[in-house]
Amino acid sequence: MSELFGVSADTLILIVAMLLACYMAANIGANDLANAMGTSVGSGALTVKQAVIVSFFLELAGASLAGGHVTNTIRKGLIDPALLSNSPELLLIGMFSALLAAGIWVHTATLLGLPVSTTHSIVGAVVGFGILAVGFFNVSWNMVFTVALSWVVSPLAGAIIAGAIFYLLDSKILRSAAPYRSAKSMAPYLLGTVVFVIVLSVIYKGLKNLGLNFDFLEALLIALPISLAGGFAGAALLSRLGGPQCRWIKGSEVEKVECVFGYLQIMTACYVAFAHGANDVANAVGPLAAIFSIAQTKSVVMQVEVPLWMLALGGSLVGVGLLIFGSRVMETIGRRITEITPVRGFCAEFGAATTVLLCSRLGLPISTTHVLVGSVIGVGLMRGMGVLDLRVIKNIMYSWLVTLPFTIILSMIIYRLLVWAIV
Amino acid sequence: MRTSFMNLFYKSPFVNLIKHAEKVIDASRMFKEAVDLYLEGKYDLFEAITDQVARVESEADAIKRNIRGHMPRGVLMPVDKFQFFMYLREQDSVLDRVEEALYWLSNRHQAFDSEINEDLRFFVATTLPAMEKLKNLVEMASGFFRRGSEEERETIKSMIRDVRQLEHEADHLERELKRKIFNRITDAIQVYYLIRLVEIIGSIADHAQNATDMMRAMISR
C-alpha cells in the first residue's frame, strides 16, 4: 500500500488515468457529439466548422455548469465508496480498471464497426470492479437498476417530447394559413423554453461550486423572467439577423419557415452541445475524479465535489475530440441525412437535449445518441421524417446486451490482475 | 465507425419512384412518335420504336422490383406502405398499357382514313399529359413528405384534379371514337382492331388516374 502511494507510483497511475480519460473524452467527441451535431449539419443549419466551434464552447459550459451530477453518480453512486474507506487503494485501482476496461471496449467496438455507447461501457465497467471490490450484494443495485431503466425511458421521453413538438409545429405553423408569420410569432416561446430548461438545470442546486445554492422555487422564480427575456431578446435578434433575409427568400412560404428554423436550430444545436456536456463528460471524468481525489488525499473522501477544472478539462477534451476526429463523421452524416430539414432537426434536437438535460439533473448517465435516435423516431411517428429503419432499435438492444457483460467481465479481470500485481 | 444514429436513416424510395416516373415520360414521348409513324405508314421505324419502348418498360420494371425488394419490415414511412405500393403498381401499369397498345398496333399494318387518323392522333395527345404529369406529382410529393407544407399539399391536390380532368376528357373521346368506328367502318376485323386499340389507349389515362387517386390517399391528413 505504501508503495502504491509512493510519489512515482501515484504519478504513474495519475498520468495513465489522465491519458485514458483523454482517450475516452476524445472518443465521446468523435462519435457521440458528432452524431448529435450531425443533425444540424445535415439540415444545413450549421457548417462543420461552425458545429465544431459551437460544440467546443457549449460542451465546456454544459460540463462545467451542469456536469457534476452525472459525474458524481459514476464516481460514487453505483458503488458506495464508504465501504472501501479502509483501503482507498482498492477504489483507486478499481476506478482505474473501469476506465481501462471501458476504453478497451470502446476502442475494440470502434475497430469492429459496432455501434456502442461510452455511457453503457463505463457504467458496466464500474459495476464490474464493484462486484469484486465491495461484493455483489453491496453494489448499489437500486441505482444500477434506475440507470438501466433510464436507458429505456430516455429514448421514449425523447420520442414523446420531439413528437409532441413536431405535432405542435405541424398544426400551428406548417398547416396554418400564414406559416411564416406563425413561425415568427412562435419563435420567442420556443427560444424561451430552451433558455428556461437550461437556466433551471444550471441554477437548481447546480452552482454549489460558486457557493450559490437555490431550492426549486427560487430557481423557478429566477429562471422564468430570464427565459422570457431571453426568448424575446433572441426573437428580436433573430428578426434583425434572419428575419429580412428569410422574408425575401425566393420560394414558397414553407421555405421561409425552414429559413427561420435554420436560425432556431443553431440554438437547439447549442442546447444539444450543452446537454451533452452535462451528461457525457462524466463518462471520462467520473472515474478520473475518484482517482484524483484518492491520490491527493490518500483516503476515500465523500463530501468533496468534483473540481470545476476537471469538468472543464473533460468538456474541452470532448470538443477537441470532435475537432480532430469528429469532422469526418459529421460530414458523412450531413451528406447522408438529407431527410432532416431545419424544422425536423429543431424538434429532434429539442426533444433529445431536453431529455438529456433532465436526466443529467437527476444524475442519470444516459446515451445521448440513443435519445437522439428516439427523438428522430418520435418525429417520424408523427409522419414528419422520411424513411426510418426501425431495426436500429433491435441493434441498440443487442449493443446493451453485449456491452454490459463484456465491460463487467473485462473490468473484473483487469481489477483482479492489478490487485494481484500491486497490493 | 458505424453508429446506430446513422443507420436509422433509410434511403428514400421516392428517389427510385421519380426515376420510374421518368421512364413513363420517356415512354410517352416514344408512344406519340410511334403512333405518328404508324399512321404515316412507316412501319419499319414504328417497329424500331416499339422495341425501344419495350426496353424502357423492362428498365422501369427493374426499378419497380428494386423498390419492392428494398422495403423490409420494420421500416417506418411517412405514408402507408400498402398505398405506396399500389401507387407504384398503377404507375407501372401506365407503362404496360403503352407497351400493349404498341404491340397491338404491330399485329397488323393497316391504313385508316384521314379522319380516323386525326382522331387517333388527338386521342393519343390527350393521354400524354396525364402520363407526363406523374413525374411532377411524384417530385412534388417527395418534397411534401420532406417539408409537409399545406401549400405543397394544395398544389398536389390541384395536379390530381388536372389528371382526373384529363382522364375524363379521354373517356369522352373514347366513347365518341368508338361510335365513329362503328358508324364508319363496316369491316369486322378492322372494327375489332380499332375498338381494342382505343380501349387500350383509353386505359392508359385510367391507370394514370388510379395512380393519382392513390397519391390522394397518401397525402390525406
What letter would DSSP give residue B3?
-
Cα–chain center distance at A209: 20
Alpha carbon distance A200, A360 (integer Å): 12
Distance from CA of A27 to the nearest CA of B (A): 11
Residue pair A125/A408 in contact (Cβ under 8 Å)? The answer is yes
Opening angle at CA B101, ends B95 and B105, nearest 5: 150
Verify whether the Cβ–Cβ distance B3 to A386 is below 8 Å. no
pLDDT in the model for residue A285 = 92
Give the C-alpha separation, A350 to A374, whole Å.
12
Q: What is the pLDDT of residues A51-98, one digit of tens each?
A: 999 999 999 999 998 888 898 898 888 998 888 888 888 999 999 999
List, in sequence order, every residue forming a beta bridge with A79; answer none if it has no partner: A139
Within 10 angstroms of residue B218's Cβ, the number of other Cβ atoms is 19
Task: Report yes or no: A251 and A42 within 8 Å, Cβ to Cβ.
Answer: no
Q: Which three cell numbers stand for residue A55?
A: 460544440
What integer pLDDT is reported at residue A243 of this predicted model?
54
Other Cβ atoms closer than 10 A to A67:
32
Q: What tens digit of pLDDT does each residue of B123-133 get?
A: 999 999 999 99
Contact between A383 and B78 using a beta-carbon 8 Å cutoff: yes
Check: CB of residue A304 under 8 Å from CB of residue A293: yes
Asked whether the beta carbons of residue A395 and residue B5 sit closer than 8 angstroms, the reply is no
The pLDDT of residue B1 is 46
- Least Cα distance to A227 among A191, A192, A200 occurs for A192
Taking the CA of residue A139 and the nearest CA in chain B, the distance in Å comes to: 30
Judge whether A183 is closer than 8 Å to chain B, CB to CB: no
- Chain A interface includes B15 (CB < 8 A): no
Closest Cα to residue B54, out of B33, B23, B20, B85?
B23
Question: Mean pLDDT throughout B155-180?
Answer: 96
Measure the CA–CA gap between A120 and A56, rounded to whole angstroms: 24
> Per the structure block, which three cell numbers stand in for A20?
485514458
Q: Are A275 and A356 in contact (CB under 8 A)?
A: yes
Q: Which tens digit of pLDDT belongs to each residue from B8-63?
A: 888 889 999 999 999 999 999 999 999 999 999 999 999 999 999 999 999 999 99
* Each residue's pLDDT tens digit, A360-398: 989 999 999 999 999 999 999 998 888 899 998 988 888
Q: How confident is the model at residue A4 (pLDDT cuts 50, 70, 90)?
A: low
Contact B218/B79 with Cβ under 8 angstroms?
yes
Distance CA A45, CA A345 (A): 9
Nearest chain A alpha carbon to B7: A392
Percent of chain A with pLDDT over 90: 44
Determine, for residues B76 and A38 on separate chains, whether the beta-carbon distance falls below 8 Å.
Answer: no
Q: Dihedral sign, CA of A37, A39, A42, A47?
A: negative
Q: Does residue A226 have a pLDDT over 70?
A: yes
pLDDT at residue A123 greater than cutoff 60: yes
The rounded distance, in Å, linking the Cα atoms of B62 and A49 is: 42
Query: Grid coordinates representing B34?
Result: 410511334
In which residue are the cell numbers 406502405 written? B81
Distance (Å) from the C-alpha of residue B126 to the closest C-alpha of chain A? 31
DSSP H helices, A73-214, are: 88-112, 118-133, 141-169, 179-203
B13 to chain A, minimum CA–CA distance in Å? 8
Q: Which of A32, A110, A392 to probe by mutation at the B interface, max B CB count within 10 Å? A: A392
**Which among B7, B145, B150 is the nearest to A392, CB-wise?**
B7
Residue range B77-119, pLDDT digits in tens: 889 999 999 999 999 999 999 999 999 999 999 899 899 999 9
pLDDT at A150 over 50: yes
A252 and chain B in contact, CB less than 8 A = yes
Cβ-Cβ contacts under 8 Å, B10 against chain A: 386-389
Site of grid cell 422570457: A228
Q: What is the DSSP annotation of B22-37?
A: HHHHHHHHHHHHHHHH
Query: CA-nearest residue of chain A to B142?
Result: A386
Q: Which of A31, A329, A387 sits opposite B12 (nearest CB)?
A: A387
For every residue of A52-80, DSSP letters joined together read HHHHHHHHHHHHHHH-HHHHHIIIIISB-
| Nearest beta carbon to residue B74 from set A179, A385, A390 | A390
Q: In this predicted model, what pLDDT tens digit does every residue of A5-50 receive, in sequence order?
A: 556 777 888 899 999 999 999 989 988 898 889 889 988 889 999 9
The mean pLDDT value for A231-243 works out to: 74
Q: Inspect the interface and report whether the beta carbons of A383 and B148 lie closer than 8 Å.
A: yes
Which residues in chain B touch residue A373, judged by CB atoms under 8 angstroms apart? 4-5, 8
- Contact between A391 and B74 under an 8 Å Cβ cutoff? The reply is yes
The answer on pLDDT for A247 being more than 90 is no
Cα–Cα dist A288/A71, whole Å: 10
Q: Which of A110, A336, A382, A389 to mutate to test the interface with B (most CBs of B within 10 A)?
A: A389
Range A221-236 average pLDDT: 87
Please judge whether A390 and B6 are an interchain contact, meaning their C-beta atoms are less than 8 angstroms apart.
no
Report in angstroms the alpha-carbon separations of A372 from A103, A249, A381, B112: 23, 31, 14, 67
Distance CA A374, CA A201 (A): 22
CA B77 to chain centre: 24
Residue A1: per-residue pLDDT: 43
A252 DSSP 8-state letter:
-
A114 touches chain B (CB under 8 A): yes
pLDDT of residue A387: 87
Write the CB contacts of A406 (distance below 8 Å, at least 6 apart in sequence). A105, A124
Distance from CA of A329 to the nearest CA of B (A): 8
Q: At A214, give phi and psi (nearest 5°).
A: -100, 140
- What is the average pLDDT value for chain A, to the nearest integer? 87
H or E, element range at A274: helix A253-297
Q: Look at A380 and B76 and tell me if their CB atoms are within 8 Å.
A: yes
Question: Which one has a higher pLDDT value, A112 or A406?
Answer: A406
* Burial status of residue A309 (CB atoms within 10 A of its CB: 0-12, 13-18, 19 or more): exposed
Specify the range with the lowest mean pLDDT, choosing from A318-327, B28-37, B130-139.
Answer: A318-327
Write the pLDDT tens digit of every residue in A154-205. 999 999 999 999 999 999 998 888 888 888 888 889 889 888 888 888 887 6
Q: Using H for helix, E for strand and C for coil, what is the string for B87-144?
A: HHHHHHHHHHHHHHHHHHHHCCCCCCCHHHHHHHHHHHHHHHHHHHHHHHHHHHHHHH
Angstrom distances, CA of residue A412 to CA of A118, A125, A421, B42, B209: 18, 8, 14, 85, 67
Q: In this complex, do A333 and B5 lie within 8 Å of one another by their Cβ atoms? A: yes
Cell of A241: 439577423
